[in-house]
Every structure is written in C-alpha cells, then in structure tokens.
Homo-oligomer: A and B are copies of this chain.
C-alpha cells in the first residue's frame, strides 16, 4: 500500500529532514554531507542519517565520489510524488531564510563546482563570522 510514499511522508515529518529536503529542492544542485552539515548546523551523524533516510524514501538521489557523498533532489515522474515535492518547495521561505543564505555562502567555497573543504573547517567558521 504505497509503502515508499508513506516512507517519504514519514521522512518529511521530521523538522531536520524537512529542512534538508527543502534545502536540496531550492539549491537545485548536488550537496555533500559536509556542506549540508555546515549549512544546517547539526552533527555529522545526524545529517548523514537524515540524508540517507530521504534517499531511501525516494526523495533524494545519492552519488558517491571519492570520499565525498553528494545528494541531489530525485527526479519524480508520478503525479503524487511531484505534488508532494512541490508542496515542500512552496513552504514559506521565511522559515528557512538563514538556510538559503548559508548554503549560498558554503557553495561559494567550491572549486570547479566540487566540494573541497570538509565540515566545520576554520575557513567556514571565518566566513560565517564576517
């Protein structure tokens, strides 16, 4: 009975994961665990676990590249999935203001579009405190 869809709802029903999914939807780009961690400001294992849950639920795609793991928004084809993702997309951005800004900042640290600096780096902390 639409087990995967139920998993997606369950995954989204948790504030941290909803934030993560919102982020992936709005950034429209691949994002590493380290980057998500810096942007969201949570522990590594939680970000890792939550991203993985969103992936297993069919909301994100996963792509491993060396020691980095990139997550992107999964492309949906079925209507109810598209609508579900759209629903999250249209959440009032006000709730996530800082998230979008911080993400832009963090992605600015990339080189040739790839993530090259790990989580909680000094460079990131400095960038944050400007």
- The oligomer's copy count stands at 2
Q: Answer whether residue A84 sits at the interface, using C-beta atoms and an 8 A cutoff.
A: yes
B-contact 0/1 string along A74-104, CB 8 Å cutoff: 0000011101101111111001000000000
Majority-rule SS of A interface residues? helix
**From residue A96, how far is it (CB to closest CB) to chain B in Å?**
9
User: What separation, in Å, do the CA atoms of A66 and B95 have in the docked complex?
Assistant: 41
Closest CB in chain B relative to A51 CB, distance in Å? 18
Number of A interface residues in the complex (CB < 8 A): 24
* A79, B83: Cβ atoms closer than 8 Å: no
CB contacts (< 8 Å) of A88 on chain B: these are 80
- B95 and A91 form a contact (CB under 8 A): no
Task: Name the CB-closest residue of B to A79.
Answer: B90
